[in-house]
Chains A and B, each alone.
Chain A
Amino acid sequence: MGPSFLDQLKETIFTWKKHQNFHFQPLEIQIALGSPVVLTYPWILLDGIMAYGIGEMIFQERWQSLCSGGQVDRIWGILPSPLLSSEGIAHGSVGRFSEKEATGHIQMTKPLSVEYLKYCHPFQKRYMIVGGDFKVHKKIYASNMSPFLTFWANGDQTTIETIFRYHTPGVGKRIGNGYGKITDIQIHEIPHDYSIWHPQWGLNRPIPIIFPSLLNGHSLPDVVGYVAYRPPYWAKENHTKCFIPAGFA
């Protein structure tokens, strides 16, 4: 009996990992946006984008099918990260928009009803329309229309740049519809690591309250909430009581 599918995935990851040599350094990453960013959560985290990008770098075209198949749930934990990690928390900040007030909404509809209804029996057609089957395709999302998004990180500059340039068409939700398009990226080396604590913003990413040592002696933030602290950020298993980054409370 050969190795299982999961073992094959792990083997692929370890093989890729062997050839990598990450060089961590404090960075500031500024992204120019070409379209509004659709948000279903108050913040975008750099390590979430990196985890997805690394997955695509390793598995290439297979990555999309892995995500949809649910197989990827088991390998998130062993995916390599181009970001430095302390206590299991990646040194990648939340995205700070250049204009925080530039929030609005976008409205989307899926034009499938007419095409599909043509082939329905009249009774079924009526049943589906009256039953509200088609109204759910209209959705309203929150969005931010800032021209720039900035992240702070302690990580490998080359890998981060590769991920943003070649494996991340956009940030936020509804990238396939053209939202959150990345038009340009600039990465600068900076003298200090601002991924967890920024002198202007304060706490710069969610941190579980059981790791106050990560704050490096800074005062404990007041705002606490149940949020995810590591990728995948949509997984409920990763939700725990965290200190919340300043400016989002």
Chain B
Amino acid sequence: MNAKEVDMFRAYGRGDRYRRCVAETHKTIASLVETEVNLCVAVSGGKDSSVLLHLLLQHRPKIKVWHWDWGIFMLREFEAEIQGHLHDFFQLRPPQLTIKQRLSQDEDNMVGYRALFGSVSQYLKENRIGLNFLGLRREESCRRSNRCRNLIEKAHPCNNAFPLKDWTWRDIWAYIVLHKIPYPKAYDAKAPLIGWDKVRFVSFFDPEFSHLGGPEQDKFLFWRYRER
């Protein structure tokens, strides 16, 4: 992020819209934290989950955190960077749920997702989690907009909460800039091409995410990692 963009997000952070958004989210989180004892938060390492984690740690410093690793489809350098942020900035060592069974990006998507949700479900059951916080936002896609219509989604084995559902990309980046939260450097590489509003942190060279840039863009930006 260059100096001009930092100034832009700082200026946005001084506005009423942003302040109201953050204040309301603090209030929401406070009420959820009061009602439920056993909480956890899912952290992918991207911008939304980092902001959510930062907000939640202010209310419940010992909240359980889990992080999933995309295995061979997340470049190890970027995974190490995320781990570094969690260790150094947030002072956390969350359990890593790793996808091992996703063998091919083209064909085995469902196998991979079953493996992911299976391991997540097992983790939530074993730890008897009452409420799982997710950093989904309504702005991101129609499907997410439908899913995050309510603050709490009833699910098995535990309910999910979406405190950031009404945040916009400007709110997220303003929060990151104002609180100096570290974010993956992949954002800095992708954003000049597709813009700070559309940039997403997903697995690399993955045809599943071709509508977000995907392999075509990664071949250009991350050509170094293409043949590894």
Residues of A within 8 A of B (CB): 39-42, 103-105, 135-136, 138-142, 225-227, 236, 239
Contact = CB atoms under 8 A, between A and B. Distances in A.
A42 B217 contact: no
Interface in B205-221: 207, 210-214, 216-217, 219-221
B1 interface: no
B216 A140 contact: yes
Contact of A139 (B193, B194, B211, B224): B211
A39 B220 contact: yes
A135 B221 CA distance: 23
B76 to A, nearest CB: 15
Nearest to A40: B219
A31 B213 CA distance: 28
Nearest to A225: B224
Max count, chain B CB within 10 A of own CB: residue among A39, A139, A140: A140
Contact of B193 (A40, A105, A138): A105
Interface residues of B, number: 19
B211 A142 contact: no
A160 B224 CA distance: 30
Nearest to B219: A40
Contacts of B210: 136, 138-140
Given A41-B219, A105-B194, A140 B227 contact: no
A140 B220 contact: no
Given A140-B194, A141-B217, A236 B227 contact: yes
12 contacts: A40-B216, A41-B220, A41-B223, A42-B220, A103-B192, A105-B217, A136-B211, A139-B214, A140-B194, A140-B217, A141-B216, A226-B227
A246 to B, nearest CB: 15
B20 interface: no
Nearest to A138: B211
Contacts of A239: 227
Contact of A40 (B194, B220, B224): B220
Nearest to A174: B216
B114 to A, nearest CB: 15
Contacts of A41: 219-220, 223
A226 to B, nearest CB: 5
A239 B214 CA distance: 22
Contacts of A226: 224, 226-228
Given A105-B193, A226-B228, A140 B223 contact: no
Contact of B220 (A135, A139, A142, A227): A142
Given A105-B193, A141-B217, A142-B217, A42 B227 contact: no
Nearest to B207: A136
A32 to B, nearest CB: 23
B228 A139 contact: no
Q: Which are the 4 A-B pairs with shortest beta-carbon distances?
A: A142-B220, A138-B211, A40-B219, A226-B227
A226 B227 CA distance: 7
Contacts of B216: 40, 139-142
Interface in B13-58: none
Contacts of B228: 226
Nearest to A226: B227
B213 A140 contact: yes
Contacts of A225: 223-224
A232 B53 CA distance: 47
Given A104-B193, A105-B194, A239-B227, A140 B219 contact: no
Nearest to A38: B216
A136 B210 CA distance: 6
Contacts of B212: 140
A141 B190 CA distance: 11
A42 B219 CA distance: 8
